[in-house]
Structure 1
Amino acid sequence: MRTKQRNNLAETARHERVAQNTDVYAVKARNYKGLRRGSPVFCRNNWHIHHAKSGGGQILVCVAGRGYYQEEGKDAVEMKPGDCINIPAEVKHWHGAAPDEWFSHLAIEVPDENSSNEWLEPVSDEEYRKLK
């Protein structure tokens, strides 16, 4: 199980770093695993889903700057330092920097069973420009 968790974490980090040019640092505490991301202006990840047979999901904690989180079909939520978002498994979402400011956050993977991440289409420039 630990190997799979490390592989999922490494795959997420690789995807983020290559596709979005973010600074990614892996962190681990007890049964939780996570990434600290530093995202430059205009940086956001693709729509994605954290799948899990049971448990799972993700917790986002904004540590600096300003960013956004959005679930499919809902308005984007602004994130400022100290803000936390709990994302259940199977929810299509994206997160990243505000269009005019950098963003640093912890992305914590909630303990799960049989988890995987599904990376989907990019957030369109039109969608992203609508953010204030």
Structure 2
Amino acid sequence: MKLLTRQPTLKLPETMFTGDAWADVIYRGEEPSRARANAVRFAPGARTAWHSHGLGQTLYIVEGIALIQSRGGEVLEAHPGDVVWTPPGEEHWHGAAPDRFMVHLALWETDEVDWLAHVTDAEYAGPRRSTRTA
């Protein structure tokens, strides 16, 4: 067993994020492990750019309301306790609702991430479907 040294919180770059977002690295596996885990905190309205992961990505919503969209799909409004998986190579974005902070755990393998264009305000404000039932 090994107690891992906690790394400083990272302010995430404007080239990949709109608005303010920060990450705490929870785990970054060393070969042969490919596991990655970050706690990511988004200010209201903050979001990633469009991107895809070579081996997919899983998000676990911890706090707030997350907005998540796959290219060509509707915006999913996810809530604490929801788990969302994006398959390998699927272009998507995720971020906070306009009026709430949001925290999610991001789980993925390898650093194979293809970063694309920023999400437009029109894409961000698109029709939503909530994970909560009425």
- What TM-score comes out, normalization by structure 1 length? 0.76
Q: Which runs of 5+ in 2 are unaligned?
A: 1-8, 129-134
Do the aligned partners of 2:66 and 2:77 also contact (CA within 8 Å) in 1?
yes
Q: Which runs of 5+ in 1 are unaligned?
A: 1-12
Residue in 2 that maps onto 1:17: 12
Residue in 2 that maps onto 1:47: 50
- What TM-score comes out, normalization by structure 2 length? 0.75
Instruction: Decide whether aligned partners of structure 1 residues 92 and 79 sit closer, same or farther in structure 2, where only a CA change above 3 A counts.
Output: same
Please tell me the residue identity of whatever aligns with 2:117. E
Deviating 4+ runs (over 4 angstroms): none
When you count helix as a share of all residues, which structure comes out higher? Answer: 1
Residue in 1 that maps onto 2:83: 84
Q: What's the RMSD between the two structures over aligned residues? A: 2.1
Give secondary structure in 1 for the equivalent of 2:12. Answer: helix
Question: Among the aligned pairs, what percent are the same residue?
Answer: 29
CA distance in structure 2 between the partners assigned to 1:60 and 1:101 by the alignment:
18
Which protein has the larger Cα radius of gyration, Structure 1 or Structure 2?
Answer: 2
| Structure-to-structure mapping, 1:1-132, within 5 angstroms | 17-19=12-14, 20=17, 21-28=20-27, 31=33, 32-51=35-54, 56-109=55-108, 111=109, 116-130=112-126
Please tell me the residue identity of whatever aligns with 2:100. E
Do the aligned partners of 1:99 and 1:129 also contact (CA within 8 Å) in 2?
no
Aligned residues: 112
Please tell me the residue identity of whatever aligns with 2:26. V
